[in-house]
Amino acid sequence: MTQKPQNITLREIFSPGGLISQQLEAYEFRQEQLQMAHEVARAFTASEHLIVEAGTGVGKSFAYLIPAISLALKAEQKVVISTNTISLQEQLVTKDIPFLQRVLPRDFNVVLAKGRRNYLSRRRLKNLMNYERGLFDTREEVEEIAEIQEWVDRTVDGSRSDLPWQPQPQVWDKVVSDRDNCLGRNCETYETCFYFKARREMYNADLLIVNHHLLFSDLAIRKDSEAAMSVLPDYDYLIIDEAHHLEATATNHASIDFSNTRVKWLLDSLYNERSEDGLAKRFDSRQLRTQVETAREQANTLFRTIIETMQEEIGSEGNSNNLTPRIHRSNFVKNVLDTPLADIEKTLKRLRDDAMTDDDEQEITAHQHYCRRLRDELDMIIRQSDPDYVYWAEISTRGRTPRILLNATPANVNQMLQDHLFTVKNSIVMTSATLSTNRNFAYFKKRVGISESRELLVHSPFDFKRQVQIHIPRNMPHPNSHGFVPAAIEKIKHYLKLTHGKAFVLFTSYKMMDEVYDAVAPDLEEIGIDTFIQGGELSRTAMLEAFREDTDSVLFGTSSFWEGVDVRGASLSNVIITRLPFEVPTHPVMEARVKQIKEEGGNEFFEFSLPEAILRLKQGFGRLIRTQTDNGIVAILDPRIRTANYGKQFLESLPNCEIVEE
């Protein structure tokens, strides 16, 4: 057997005739890929942060994986790689990494890390079967638990994705591995515990693949408690792919939400009225049962008052079935739920002190902690105790049970990211195809709070001049004028006939999408072009599948189709951008961000709305060319791209293409 050489340079791996090309027939050497790999390696060696925008086709995953593997092996450093989407994670784990394991000279160990709540707790399942079967409301739920009980003997890793079907959230919740409800080494099933087995594997890994959600769960725990409680093993080197989602994920994680469903979950677990089961029954506590009944009444009063207050505040504006109002004043409702929850907490503490077994003690403690958390969160939101947060509600009264959520969201996460990420890690590489605006990273850096970093813009190796024409029609009315939609309809018909379908028509509002669709679809169907519209009969995935198969069809979509959609080949040869994607800041958090910029003397248009819209346009544009052989047109119907003084910034942020003004 021939020995693979041990010390190999990046050039020897990437260059023509190098290790990759020997194993990958379709491989083409790309200078841009090698340049990115060198920069990643340099950032690791110099312990610096690096921001890389890598256009489509650069092959950025190999460009960061290979330096990461090299660092892990040479310096015995664990490298964490975080992605936003499951599809990228799957690409890394099932395609890119197995290929590199065949090609590279040394073996390395990669683990896909999943969050704790993905794993079943053997102890909780056993307890549920022994004492708490009556906690479920429906026959379906009871049957699901019975199926999980059968599956536990044959599952490989005890994780939810290993189940051939997906249980309802309230069922999985009862058996999931939960930090508050875990006996750790004292658990009788600790040795065979799925979660702790996965954890041991994580500690032995060279590369850990995680998603952004898990990355921030780990950071949140490290921020609030000691590292021993953390989700991930200690690490100093991190790669964040799909980094354009960094701010949004960090914001979600730092947010607090209090909902009627969480209150119901707690109260039903303590005493379920329908089945007359729960902790109160198990520990024979009449006092707890009475307290749960009182809490239920007060919760109803609280949530009813919240709906009435929010409806009053919003007046006749907005859809009364679906409200997302900002909560402007503290103590906007009286916190009538705090005392009943405090009484329950006291009773739980007493029951815990009297508990006869570790199992019982743990079960009660978990509920006590949950009760405490609910009290703290409700109190924080009602009193608006942190001035750096934006307080807002989400109320949906459609359906049988209203859904009421109170949220506290930080207006900015830059300081938090700086304190808990950028200043504590040796080197963080952030990459995506859309990070720069106007060919610099100033906006991205400001939003995520990074001041010192290396920067690299690697252009796509595709020949955009040959592959894409940008069409900008002349004489289009201003998008806010009455004449815009009728004129856009005519242009859309024209461009769709030009390519005989094969198009995405991207909108910024459902209203305009529906209006255009109604006007355009009948003509298209007449000439044999099928149409799909977001929100129609098909799900997003089914619609994309049908679009890929029917090579002459047209897809009308809004927000979720501007990014993360990959259609290769002739099915997509035309992307029509109806309006420049400026977002009207109506969401309370956006509103607060804009207000803050104004208060600091900044210009909210140039410092927020414009860069956000440029990034969005780049994402929409990026749908067209996914491979070297793709080609087509991008039609931009919004005249501001030519007439407004900022229009040039949009065009300069796109790859260099032929522009046709007609």
Q: Give contact residues for ligand SF4 (rule: CB under 6 A).
A: 121-124, 177, 182-184, 187, 189-190, 193, 195-196
Of 19 and 366, CB closest to ligand SF4: 366
Q: How far is the CB of 517 from ligand SF4 (least distance, A)?
A: 50
Amino acid, res. 143: E
Q: How far is the CB of 135 from ligand SF4 (least distance, A)?
A: 18
Q: With 0-12 CB in 10 A as exposed, 13-18 as middle and 19+ as buried, what is 361? A: middle
The phi, psi pair for 121, rounded to 5°, reads -100, 120
Of 116 and 548, CB closest to ligand SF4: 116
Q: How far is the CB of 615 from ligand SF4 (least distance, A)?
A: 41
Cβ contacts of 22 within 8 Å, gap of 6 or more: 103
Of 124 and 616, CB closest to ligand SF4: 124
Q: How far is the CB of 230 from ligand SF4 (least distance, A)?
A: 16
- Region of residue 428 (left: phi > 0; alpha: psi -120 to 50; beta: else): beta
Q: How far is the CB of 181 from ligand SF4 (least distance, A)?
A: 7
Distance CA 635, CA 495 (A): 8
Radius of gyration of the chain (CA): 28
Of 195 and 370, CB closest to ligand SF4: 195
Q: How far is the CB of 468 from ligand SF4 (least distance, A)?
A: 52
Of 190 and 265, CB closest to ligand SF4: 190
The phi, psi pair for 406, rounded to 5°, reads -110, 130
Q: How far is the CB of 122 from ligand SF4 (least distance, A)?
A: 4
Any bridge partners for residue 635, and if so which? Answer: 471, 576
Of 123 and 245, CB closest to ligand SF4: 123
CA distances from 607 to 147, 299, 433, 447, 455 (A): 54, 42, 21, 10, 20
Contact 517, 556 (CB under 8 A): yes
Q: How far is the CB of 164 from ligand SF4 (least distance, A)?
A: 22
Of 187 and 250, CB closest to ligand SF4: 187
Any bridge partners for residue 468, and if so which? Answer: 632
Q: How far is the CB of 166 from ligand SF4 (least distance, A)?
A: 20
Of 189 and 418, CB closest to ligand SF4: 189
Of 149 and 438, CB closest to ligand SF4: 149
Of 41, 180, 165, nearest to 117 (Cα)? Answer: 180
CA torsion sign, 288 to 290 to 294 to 297? positive
Distance CA 357, CA 207 (A): 40
Kindly write down the DSSP assignment for every residue of 328-371, as one continuous string: -STTSS--TTHHHHHHHHHHHHHHHHT-SSHHHHHHHHHHHHHH
Of 189 and 255, CB closest to ligand SF4: 189
Q: How far is the CB of 116 from ligand SF4 (least distance, A)?
A: 8
Q: Which residue has the tokens 């009980």?
A: 149
Q: With 0-12 CB in 10 A as exposed, 13-18 as middle and 19+ as buried, what is 410? A: buried
Q: How far is the CB of 350 from ligand SF4 (least distance, A)?
A: 23
Q: How far is the CB of 397 from ligand SF4 (least distance, A)?
A: 38
Of 124 and 618, CB closest to ligand SF4: 124
136-171 in b/e form (b: 16+ CB < 10 A) is beeeebeebbeebeebeeeeebbbbeebeeebeebb
**Could you say which DSSP state residue 631 is in?**
-
Cβ contacts of 48 within 8 Å, gap of 6 or more: 42, 427, 452, 453, 454
Helix (H, G, I), strand (E, B) or coil at 256: strand
Q: At what angle do helices 484-498 and 510-526 cross, to 10 degrees?
A: 40
Q: How far is the CB of 132 from ligand SF4 (least distance, A)?
A: 15
Distance CA 133, CA 267 (A): 16
Q: How far is the CB of 195 from ligand SF4 (least distance, A)?
A: 5
Lookup: tokens for 441: 């990273």
Of 27 and 190, CB closest to ligand SF4: 190
Hey, which bits of 158-290 come out as E strands? 207-211, 237-240, 256-259
Of 186 and 628, CB closest to ligand SF4: 186
Of 205 and 366, CB closest to ligand SF4: 366
Contact 508, 576 (CB under 8 A): no
Q: How far is the CB of 402 from ligand SF4 (least distance, A)?
A: 34
- Region of residue 528 (left: phi > 0; alpha: psi -120 to 50; beta: else): left
Of 126 and 587, CB closest to ligand SF4: 126
Helix (H, G, I), strand (E, B) or coil at 384: coil
**Could you say which DSSP state residue 314 is in?**
H
Instruction: List strands edge to edge, sheet with 207-211.
Output: 110-112, 207-211, 79-83, 237-240, 427-432, 50-54, 454-458
Q: How far is the CB of 368 from ligand SF4 (least distance, A)?
A: 17
Of 361 and 583, CB closest to ligand SF4: 361
